[in-house]
Each structure stands twice: as structure tokens, then as C-alpha cells.
Structure 1
Amino acid sequence: MNIEHAHPDDLAELRAAFGVDDAGESALGWEEVNAFEAAHGVVLPEPYRTFVAEITDGSFSGPPDHGLVGVAELPDDWGDDRPVRTLSAPFPLTEAWLWEDDPRPYEEIAPLLAPVFDHGSVVLGTDGCGMYWHLIVTGPHRGHIWNISGEGATPYGAEFGHTTADSGFMGWVRHWSAGKPWFDA
């Protein structure tokens, strides 16, 4: 997983996977990507960074099931009463956490949940039912994809179990475009 440089072959594969052939008209452009990064105090990991700058900023042709939202957007079912998202704050997890099975009382767990949903990640989209895909942009898991739902949070990639997919945005898209179920291990 290379999160610092976008390989031209990966970009061609992303363009094909999303069916983008509009010569970059649906992309943000580098000026907008740089402005987004400056406003949020982050640098987006590659190849996602070049993807939104040069290929497209969101797509109805998946992944995830309800489409890829733009870098500055949130899925329609995200809700209006959530805390302000702080992308520059480090994403707090480095391993899966199923808070639904956590033995601690809810009063102890509740304050720990908002940072999982709202710190250090760009929301890529939803598969519905409150199941969101996040690209981590700050912290030790920068560049990794996480599945975060009402029950827990799980890193995505073969090294974490549950899937045969490679880590990162490219591995996540490759797995989807191959028609494989998300959790196939």
C-alpha cells in the first residue's frame, strides 16, 4: 500500500472501475483538493488524493453500495445532529473494536464513540443501515479503510482478517470491482 505516490496503473484501474470517461470533468481539480486539505489540516492519502483531483469526486457506480460520496460530503443518512467532524485529529483506533460486546457500561463507552466516527477520516459512503466506509487520513492507520457501524469498527484488509482484499483505497476498490463480497475470508 503506497499512500504517498499514485501509480499511473492504479489511476487507470480506478478510472476503469468507476467507469469515468469524462476527461476529469467530475474531478475536483488540484486547486480544490489543496484548498480542502488546507482547510482541514490534512494531506489525503494516495491514490485517493489524485483520484478526487483528476478522475472524479464521488460516483454513483459504487463502491460502496450507495455510491462514493465526494471528499467534502457525507452520506444522506449521516444525520444532521452529529458533532463537527475534525479530520486533523488522529483517528483513535488501531485495532477492531466491537463496542456492542464491550463489557464496560455505556456511560463509559459513549464519550469514546464520537472520535471513532468523526476524527481523522473521510467518509467514503455507506452500504446502508448505518454501515459506513471511512478512509483514514490522520494517525497510525492513515491510508487504511475502516468499516464503522452502530455496532463497532473494523479495519479493512487481509492482514486484519475477514477479507482477502489488500489494504487501502486501491485494495478496497479492486475487491469491489472483482465482484467479491466485502467480508470473504
Structure 2
Amino acid sequence: MSEETWAGVRERVLRIAGHPRAHQVFGAQGHGFRLGPVLREEQLRALEADLGADLPAQYRSFLLRVAGGGAGPDYGLLTPVAGDGGWQWRGVGLGFPGPATRADFAGRPFAAEALQRELAVLETQEPERDAFPTEDEFRRAHAAWDARYEELYDGQEAGAVFLSEQGCGYSSLLVMTGPHRGAVWEDLRPADGGITPTGHDFASWYRSWLERTEHGLGLTPPA
């Protein structure tokens, strides 16, 4: 990953923090344009050991050169931290952190598209009371159906990290495994939209937010 991708980015974010209208930017109440410390190489290697895979290159470089988390799109970036149960992404210093992600969960295969198709089929198969001779049989069948639904629903998040909370239950995720590795997807399930690609990799997602924010505040990016 070229060093130029993140050259000056930390300084640009911190410059925004001092702008008199910074608090008016969407999400600022969540992160305050504060950036956490960068991670060290040995920390990233320990994180990757728990993940069971290398971090996507752009994101890895960001953690080394810009910040472990904090200021970023929407309500801010979750931070990878080490704990007794291993590494996980948590909302360190964020007002609206969104759900935490364990590294071992993020290292599983990412199969959101296939699971969404399976869920769509399962939804058409929800048990109906009149198909069962007794209430007890119906309840058992529906409990099994519901358990499978929850399994497929939650399984869509595997292989990805919750990056930031958008509000109203929507989130941005970074895919960690498979052919979509390094891409940012959105969790739109509260509106029955599934988990869908944004078309951005991590660098374009973050830098686009930074440029939009500077433009909205009338700041000229450094040459």
C-alpha cells in the first residue's frame, strides 16, 4: 500500500476538529473528530493471528499511519483492541459505537449474498398453524424455523467487521475474507435491504468522507 494514500490524512482530520462549525457535521457528536493512536506492527500481527488472515492492505496501512479508530464516516470508526477474550473491534471513545466484532468471527468466510438468498427462500416457508394437527407441533415447527432464520440472519455478518454506525440501526462493514475482501458494505437490514456493497474500498470510502467534510466546511485540501 502506497504511503501516499494516507499522507497528511491525520493532520487534515485534526484540522477539521478545530473548525468553528465542525460540530455541525453529521456524526460529529459521535466522534468529535478525535482520532485514536495508531497501532504498532506487533499489535497488527497479533490481531491478524486472531483473525486468521491478513488485514485488507488499505485498512492495515490506515491503522499504522492514521489511527486505530475514531473520526470517520457517520458516527466514527470502531477500534481494534486486545482483551482477555482476544482481539475485537469496539467503539472506543465513540458516542454511538454500534456493535462490537470479535476477530475470530470476522475471520470466518463472508457469505452474505448466499445467506440472503437462503433467507428469502426460508421466509416463504414459515410454518402456518393450520398445517399442523396440534398447537404443540406447530410451536415446535415454528421454533425450529425461527432458530434457522436467526442463524442465517446473524451469519450474514460473519467475515466482516462493523466499521461505523450510520444511525437508525444501519451500519458500514468492512469485508475481511473472500472475493470481496477489503470492500465496504452497508447493513441495511432494518429496512429489509440486506447487507449490500457500497462500491467503495476502504481508502475511497474514508477519503471521500474526508473530502466531502472539507468541502462542506469550506476548507481547501492541502496541495
What TM-score results when the alignment is normalised by the length of structure 2? 0.59
Distance 2:11 2:48 in 1: 26
Cα distance change of structure 1 residues 85 and 18 upon mapping to structure 2, 3 Å threshold: farther
Count of residue pairs brought into register by the alignment: 157
* Aligned ranges 1:58-73 → 2 under 5 Å: 58-59=69-70, 61-63=71-73, 65-71=74-80, 72-73=88-89
Is the Cα–Cα contact under 8 Å of residues 98 and 164 in structure 2 kept in the other structure?
Answer: no
Is the Cα–Cα contact under 8 Å of residues 51 and 103 in structure 2 kept in the other structure?
Answer: no
Q: Describe the superposition over 1:47-82 as per-residue Cα deviations: whole angstroms up to 9, x where unpaired.
A: 1101112321001x321x111111332343428xx9
In our comparison, the structure showing a higher alpha carbon Rg is 2
* Aligned ranges 1:2-41 → 2 under 5 Å: 6-12=1-7, 14-16=9-11, 18-19=13-14, 26-41=37-52
For the aligned residue pairs, the C-alpha RMSD in angstroms reads 3.2
Q: Which structure dedicates a bigger proportion of its chain to helix?
A: 2
> How high is the sequence identity, in percent, across the aligned residues?
28
Aligned to 1:174: 207
Cα distance change of structure 1 residues 62 and 86 upon mapping to structure 2, 3 Å threshold: same
Partner SS, residue 26 of structure 1? coil
* Aligned ranges 1:5-154 → 2 under 5 Å: 6-12=1-7, 14-16=9-11, 18-19=13-14, 26-59=37-70, 61-63=71-73, 65-71=74-80, 72-75=88-91, 76-78=97-99, 86-94=105-113, 102=120, 104-105=122-123, 107=145, 109-117=149-157, 119-149=158-188, 150=190, 151=192, 152-154=194-196
Q: Which structure dedicates a bigger proportion of its chain to strand?
A: 2
Distance 1:19 1:49 in 2: 20
| CA apart distance, 1:14 | 3.8
Is the Cα–Cα contact under 8 Å of residues 27 and 55 in structure 1 kept in the other structure?
Answer: yes
Is the Cα–Cα contact under 8 Å of residues 98 and 153 in structure 1 kept in the other structure?
Answer: no
Is the Cα–Cα contact under 8 Å of residues 30 and 54 in structure 1 kept in the other structure?
Answer: no
- Structure 1's unaligned 5+ residue stretches are 1-5, 158-166, 181-185
What TM-score results when the alignment is normalised by the length of structure 1? 0.70
Cα distance change of structure 1 residues 140 and 128 upon mapping to structure 2, 3 Å threshold: same
Is the Cα–Cα contact under 8 Å of residues 123 and 134 in structure 1 kept in the other structure?
Answer: yes
